Amino acid sequence: MGQAGFERLCGLANAVCGVTRDGDAMLAATDEAENLPDWLRRSWRHYWGEGTKHHCQTSMLFPPLDISVIKDARAWAEKLDGQVLWPHHPP
């Protein structure tokens, strides 16, 4: 990369490679509280309490997955342990 004129990006490329290589271990060692800035954690705790703050932090750990199926949405929801969002949505 340095030879191609991208010397400034070598550090970034190394960081990305390191995260790719060590990502699972880093994620396992990271507390969900570290995903939020301190000012936001303090604000949530102040206005809504520790329990709600913790619930909000935890809810951001795993992104929701939305799947659209053409036929038999209820059966797929049951099979995937999910829920039908629009039960009366036309096909």
pLDDT tens per residue across span 30-52? 776 777 888 988 998 899 998 88
Report yes or no: 56 and 44 within 8 Å, Cβ to Cβ.
yes
| Six token digits for residue 33 | 């509280």
The SS3 call for residue 22 is helix
Instruction: Give the C-alpha separation, 61 to 54, whole Å.
Output: 11
pLDDT at 36: 82
- pTM, rounded to two decimals: 0.41
The residues of the chain scoring below 50 in pLDDT are none
